[in-house]
Structure 1
Amino acid sequence: MLKKLLLGVLFLSTSLSAQDYFFKKFHPFNSNIPSPEEFLGYGIGERHTRHDLIVNYLTKLSEVSDRASIQEYGRTHEGRKLVILTITSPENLQNLDQLKSQHLEFTDPTKNPTNYEDVPIFINLGYNVHGNEPSSSEAALLTAYTLTASNSPEILKYIDKGVVFIDPTINPDGRDRHTQWANMYQGNPLVADPQDAEHNEYWPRGRTNHYWFDLNRDWLLGINPESRGKLTWYHEWYPNVVTDFHEMGTQSSYFFEPMKDNGSLNPIMPKENYVDLNNLFGDYFSKALDSIGSFYFTKEVFDGTYPGYGSSYPDLQGGLGLLFEQASSRGHKQTTDFGEITFPFTIRNQYTSSITTIKAAVENKGVLRKYQQEFFKSGMANASKTRVKGYSFKDEHDPNRVKAFVDKLLLHKIDVYKSGNSFVVPTRQPQYRMVQTMFETYEKYRDSVYYDASAWSVANFYNMKYKPATALNLGEKVTSLDNLVKTTSIGKSEYAYIIDYDDYNAVAALNYLQSKGLVISSSAKPFTANTTSGSQKFGYGALVVPVSLQKKDANAVYQLVKQAQEKYHVPIYTVNSGYSLQGIDLGSRWISPLKKPKAAMIIGDGVRSYEAGEVWHLLDTRVHMPITKIPVRNFGRANLDKYNTLVMVSGGYDFSKKQQEKIKNWVSKGNTLITIGTASKWAVDKKLVDEKLIKKEKDSTKAIKRKAYVNAPEDLGKESVGGAIFKVDLDITHPLAFGYNDTSIPIYKNNSVWLAPSKNEYATVAKYSKDPHIDGFITKKNMEEYLKPSASLIVSKLGSGRVVLFADNPNFRGSWYGTNRLFLNALFLGDKIRILD
């Protein structure tokens, strides 16, 4: 009955004069400051607000209010502005640089300030990281208006005692995708039927950014400009409290922290964070939501184990990250089991929590400042106690991959030093807990069911061969990426150039030269050549650019090769003879020309957009190679003969027999099909390939043990592989593994696709090691019965073509530099695979 009464009040709020539904208690308001309703021409909750209008409104506030200033901290892939509105008292705003300096002293473990109550508390309200969870950005507008225009004693106290940073839309590209959808299908009168188009977006939906990345997983990995811009801002300000506003299923209610217990056995964040501070703030949120009659829950789900969320990364920076989840109206009004939920109702809950966060932070600023100070001091103290004094890593074969890893360390303000050919990361530094996050691995866990990954040792993402050190020779501190990769300028040749294929950027250089019309060959065997720089060894996959065999003259070839080196910083060598010092010569049959990939990828309903976006992002941003994205709905009439490579990522492919035959016939003509995850399972199940999955038959004679019904989610959930890191044994002589020098590499597994090794003894490229575990949770059953016997990567012959089957995603979250090469080799070297019968 209470909820129905609230909904009745909510319906009244849809008139233009009823915005007091949100903030009546904070009157009086400065009439010179326009409300969102006055600026937009509609009341908050009546429509979904475009991101450009959000930015324009906050810009207007910064112009007319002496409490606010606005800054742009980045641009999205699609060019939308990323902004933060800073709001505090006029006096604080004028002295913000001084307050910032005083604030940062609490993050410096070498200093001991004690003026905990004197410095305003720094609060970052972050909204709308998932674009189709839109209520929070609308709440951001209301919050900004309240803080800039209200003259109530309560608000005046908050802006005097606090500095509030409002990030209104963390994912503008995704938000606008959803905003367009919701407004386009909005009815008049509103349609509450859950089956209406307004409540059911088309693929890929608005959750993700331009490349379909989940930005709420990107704080640690820092792949996208939205995250990199925010991280740069974050490490300039180190806010004490950070909010992360979300939406969840329509049938739910409202969630705030504390969360479910952290899954790690010994979480690296202090217990004071996830126990004391969470409970302290939880009391505030419960009282505020009780006062407006909203129902909620805590502790049951969502865990902060993975450190890359917007609500967990701040916990590793001396702040308090806070997660909120609001049941979504997925449009403007929708029917639920409790009646109807409307957009204004969802906005009010988020707005209430925003103001309450500020209230709790201001009233406990001394506690929060002491906590942040102790956080960095305890990090240094913990580092002093550990036997490991640092980590060293290097890979002389692949300096661009090392550079990418160093970039990630510097992005998180981790101190890095260069000593000879090695890099050193000391543990005793303010970012000690981030060092742990990058390098430490774990076998034991408190929990077995995770909201996300149970492994995130980022060094393994980059296939870094690192080792702990008990004594350090630091060398010179690395402060930028400049000069980390050094290449020797090449001289002109009338004969040939050789590109070292071990470098991560070699594929991009290959694509560049192919796109300019050069014919490039690949070596299937190692050799040693006499270059103009001296004797040089080349491994599997070395690229040869024969000058006399090109359609361009020697000067044009030289200019293109030189441009490729300058653009991608890859090692390229000049040779004037095809006679090698050791191994095969440059005219060997083991060195053959490569076909330029003409690639397509199936996208659309049923396809996992994350994985498709990772492929698209990799090719767009690192290789600079186009890939045609064919929607499932168009596949029946698509002309596959235009392509020589087709990518199918994880998903449920509901193809007809005719469409399956279409793929099979196309591959048989000599083309390459690349499947990832459940697409590989689909290829096996549909008998597209003569391969098998590892399956264990249930013993029907075994007695079934009775279990408590309430434990079913936990019992069944732990059998899934949520995300862990394992070792595979790699055949580095296979074209798919060209560029690798170590037969053991880490891979990431987050599915239950168990490929049986191929019956063809030459076709299993990567198989899980005898002792495969590196990091993350997996049950003993999954480890022994499924993982250890299975393969991670196999190739299966189909007519004159081949199917490359990845059990695991080599491009996970755009971060797996260590396995990207396997996928790129499948694209560029697929036709070099000769499957021996």
Structure 2
Amino acid sequence: MKISTSLQFTFLICTLSVLSLPGQEYFFKDKAPFNSEVPSPEEFLGYPIGQQHTRHDQIVAYLEKLAEVSERATITSYGKTHEHRKLVMLSVSDPENLNNLSIIKQEHLAFTNPSVTPTNYDSVPIFIQLGYNVHGNEPSSSEAAMLTAYTLVASDSQEVQNYIKNAIIFIDPTINPDGRDRHTQWANQFKGNPLVSDNFDIEHNEGWPRGRTNHYWFDLNRDWLLGINPESRGKLTWYHEWYPNVVTDFHEMGTNSTYFFEPMKPIGSQDPIMPKENYEDLNNLFAPYFSKALDNIGSFYFTKEAFDGTYPGYGSSYPDLQGALALLFEQASSRGHLQDTEYGTISFPFTIRNQYISSIATIKAAVENKKNLRKYQQDFFKSAVNTTAKKGYTAYEFGDKYDHNRNKAFIDKLLLHKIKVYKKGDRFVVPVKQLQKRMVKTFFETYNKYRDSVFYDASAWSVANFYNMKYKGIRSSNLGEEITSTDKLVNVSKVLKSDYAYILDWDDYNAPAALYFMQSKGLKVASAFKPFSINTPTGNKSFNYGSIMIPVSRQKKTNDEVYAIVKEAQDTYDVPIYATNTGFSTSGIDLGSRNFQKLDIPKALMLVGDGVSSYEAGEVWHLLDTRVRMPIIKLKISDFDNISLNDYNTLVMVSGRYSVLDSLVQKKIKNWVSQGNTLVTLSRASKWAIEKKIVKEKLTEKEKDTTKNKKVERLRYVDAAENIGRERLGGAIFEVDLDITHPLGFGYRDTCVPVYKNNEVFIAPSENPYATVAKYTKNAHIDGYISTDNYDNYLKPSASLIVSKLGGGRVIMFADNPNFRGSWYGTNRLFLNALFLGNHINVPNVEKE
């Protein structure tokens, strides 16, 4: 395509002019005069915005300075990151508004309460929340946050005076401080003088894992719904206290792009949870403000393409389910300070200015349309309690009687989103008709029909399935007692002292954590490979496959020391542990049976680095760090040649491109596994293991069409991307049939388990009849989009989890991701079983006929 010379000229002028303009006039010269007693970002930092990437602590310090010197601003903290960086919110408004903020807050929240009907839409300041830098290596918006804050606090222009009088503006300058600082250090340390714009310069090519993600390499922009990380949990708690009317979500995209603002691409769902008025009327109301502001500075942009708000867990979609208007902005990235593009060079200050201009335009649009926004929010929450639930259900009932800590984790997530939950006997009930009705639908409803087949991200998010939480719709008005906290939700009987043995119930989600705790304290333990029942001080108790036995007399510790460790494990993890004074079972195996196998403590190694999926690696690291409290060695793939594997019994390989592992390294892995060790592969790593013949397994192949002279259908060129894209499996939920007698299935009671698939890895069932642990069921589809071709010809004939024998060891291959986004509590156990029990899986030899 020929490049427009006028477009190229405009882009070059915008880029080059910023390099020659003095100070900060480039950004906000039309907002003068400014209060000289309020320091500008340049005065405070000692350099102009855009000359350097600003560290998070400097950003926070600057906002604290604004709150210190001006009555227009106050600052609060809503949490800390994994690396203990402060998460802050700057509140900016007219001093009179801030002095009366508690009263204004009550008036504002009245519009979210269907039981009252205020009509003072124009008299209450509009609540605007400007959120920046959720992806750490998309840094322009945090710089724009400082410029926006300075403008609102220091400008005495009539325009800004009007904004702060009619709005309460909350500025969250850095949603992902850990990732931002990782990128900031990279960009600043490799910055050249003079600036180097060559795309191949190291400044523009971050090292693995890059700064997009947080400490555990999670994408926080997908975490609003899932609420796994402290950054998201703090933000959600703040959000449900304030319910802003407008929320921004600033991002960056490819360097050769321009600028994106809403409206988005049409939502892919056939029946979107988000009200139509939101993504049509309000977006079209705001769009002219953005186009006018960007036109005025000569910036090019696009709308209605590429991005969609189907997944409800983005910063640009979650607020839409809370009566707000969420707005996505995407700026072409300079990926450093200055970089070459197809149209010339793009500079860091240029990218910052677009974000700043859009911030101010958002405030302008919100202030001038506050009546519409308030009426919309009011109607939104009224409709939640006034409309009839589909399918005739009045509530959803759920609960797992064997796994109370998984119940607790699921209820914690419901409460985080302010969803009302009730306890009814040994079950739990969530009514549909409540303020958070749309979140209830998000948690429990599933879909199989879509208007579009190409999604920006996941197409399935029924959170109950993430937790393997069996639920059903009910038509009952009897709710029971409301649950407002999970603090006392798990009540286990305190384990009594025994001089014989203790038994840990493996059904509980926290059991692996308790097991590792006891192993790390030096206790010898064994796992039951068959179920049994035995007398305990609290009566006869039945134990499932995998239950952990701690024999007292076989420890190198005194009976009192053993009891202290067992008791501490229970107190720490709230797990069911029972004492017994006999080895004789009332049914099933006795405690001295050969079907109790001694477990070695896991010594796990995971490959990380270039080519490896940081998302999947981070999910493994996060699971073991934060829930199991078990260390895993993270080995750079480039160092693999230099390490001896003899000190480890388990190797984890997540999705990745493992081309650097040549035939000699592959042989090294095979030899190590053959010595009795365990290789665990996830998703695309499983495909790699099959293709490189680490194992003698196969990928599922589609039956070949033997029709001769098959006619190729002619298709439109413009539809190519859509047609190809619909074969991509962006994220859907399927049911598998799990062998719960297999060690990988220990701890499960139901053979039907939901799994999450976001890849095109399809593994054929093993020819060994004992090696296919989980296979997709005949009617496997639960939620989300999958093409007919992928579903019928690839998924349904395939296995989700197999174990392949290799010498004296084994390779455990997951076709799916059991730890997706830290939220798949329902399949975490499969992965943890691979770590704790993998070395005790002996795949039987089967003679071929």
Note whether the superposition's TM-score is higher than 0.5. yes
* TM-superposed deviation, 1:786: 0.5
Q: Is the 8 A contact 1:726 1:773 kept in 2?
A: yes
Q: 2:101 aligns with which of 96, 100, 110?
A: 96
- Equivalent positions of 1:424-573 (< 5 A) are 424-573=429-578
Q: Tell me the amino acid that sits aligned with residue 784 of structure 2.
A: G
CA distance in 2, matches of 1:357, 1:638: 54
Contact persistence 1:383–1:432 (CA under 8 A) = no
Greater mean alpha carbon deviation, residues 225-234 or residues 694-703: 694-703
Instruction: Please point out which of 285, 292, 309 is paired with 2:290.
Output: 285
Map of 1:31 onto structure 2: 36
Confirm whether residue 201 of structure 1 aligns to residue 212 of structure 2. no
What is the aligned length? 837
The CA deviation at 1:217 is 0.2
The 5 A counterparts of 1:64-83 are 64-83=69-88
**TM-score normalised by the chain length of structure 2:** 0.98
1:640-679 correspondence runs (5 A): 640-654=645-659, 655-679=661-685
- The partner residue of 1:267 within 267, 272, 277 is 272
CA distance in 1, matches of 2:709, 2:59: 64
Which letter maps to 2:662?
S
Structure 1, residues 442-493: CA drift from partner, whole Å, max 9, x if none? 1111110000110000000000010001113211100001211011111110
Match of 1:748 among 746, 751, 756: 756
**What root-mean-square deviation, in Å, do the aligned CA atoms of Structure 1 and Structure 2 show?**
1.0
Q: Is 1:721 the counterpart of 2:729 in the alignment? A: yes
> Of 337, 356, 360, which aligns to 2:342?
337
2:130 and 2:393 map into 1 onto residues whose CA distance is: 37
Q: Is the 8 A contact 2:755 2:816 kept in 1?
A: yes
Matched, 1:145 2:150: yes
Q: Map 1:15-164; keep pairs closer than 5 Å.
A: 17-164=22-169
Query: Partners in 1 of 2:491 and 2:748 — Cα distance?
Result: 20
Partner Cα separation in structure 1 for residue 625 and residue 21 of structure 2: 45
Of the candidates 374, 377, 380, which is equivalent to residue 379 of structure 2?
Answer: 374
Instruction: Sort the Cα spacing of 1:698 and 1:326 in 2 relative to 1 into closer, same or farther, 3 A.
Output: farther
Rounded Cα–Cα distance in structure 1 between residues aligned with 2:684 and 2:555? 42
Change in CA separation of 1:22 and 1:540 when aligned onto 2, cut-off 3 Å = same
Is the 8 Å Cα contact of residues 736 and 780 (structure 2) preserved in structure 1? Answer: yes
For residues 133 and 429 of structure 1, the distance between their equivalents in structure 2, rounded to whole angstroms, comes to: 37
1:405 alignment counterpart? 410
- Aligned counterpart, 2:835: 827
Q: Which whole-Å deviations, capped at 9, do the CAs of 1:351-392 have from their partners, x for residues lacking one? A: 000000000000000000000000011111224576110000
Percent identity over the alignment?
Answer: 68
CA distance in 2, matches of 1:91, 1:3: 47
Inter-partner Cα distance in structure 2 for 1:675 and 1:226: 30
Letter in 1 for 2:676: G
Unaligned runs of 5+ in 2: 1-5
Aligned partner of 2:3 in structure 1 is none
Helix, strand or coil at the partner of 1:322: strand
Give 1:7 shift: 3.4
1:732 and 2:740 correspond: yes
Which residue identity does 1:764 align to in structure 2?
T
Q: Map of 1:380-399 to 2, 5 A cutoff?
A: 380-383=385-388, 387-399=392-404
Deviation at 1:12, TM superposition (A): 4.0
Aligned partner letter, 1:289? L
For residues 481-512 of structure 1, give each alpha carbon's deviation from its aligned partner in whole angstroms, at most 9, with x where no partner exists.
Answer: 12110111111100000010000000000000
Distance 1:712 1:650 in 2: 27
Look up the match of 1:302: 307
Rounded Cα–Cα distance in structure 2 between residues aligned with 1:575 and 1:701: 73
Partner of 1:180 in structure 2?
A: 185
* Mapping 1:660-809, distance limit 5 Å: 660-696=666-702, 699=705, 701-809=709-817
Aligned mates of 1:683, 1:780 — CA distance in 2: 27
State how far apart, in whole Å, the 2-side matches of 1:543 and 1:801 are: 23
Is the deviation greater in 235-244 or in 778-787?
778-787
Tell me if the contact between 1:15 and 1:43 (Cα under 8 Å) persists in the aligned partners. Answer: no
Which residue among 303, 315, 323 is the counterpart of 2:320? 315
Q: CA deviation at 1:14?
A: 3.8
1-structure distance, mates of 2:391, 2:477: 14
Aligned to 2:782, the other structure's residue is in SS state strand
Whether the 8 Å CA contact 2:14–2:350 is kept in 1: the answer is no
In the alignment, is the contact (CA less than 8 A) between 2:250 and 2:330 conserved in 1? yes
Cα deviation, 1:631-655, whole Å, max 9, x if unaligned, reads 0111111111110000000011011
Question: 1: distance between equivalents of 2:455 and 2:405?
Answer: 33
What is the CA–CA distance in structure 2 between the aligned matches of 1:697 and 1:784, rounded to whole Å?
Answer: 11
TM-score where L is the length of structure 1: 0.99
Q: Which secondary structure does the structure 1 equivalent of 2:159 belong to? A: helix
Q: Secondary structure at the match of 1:587?
A: coil
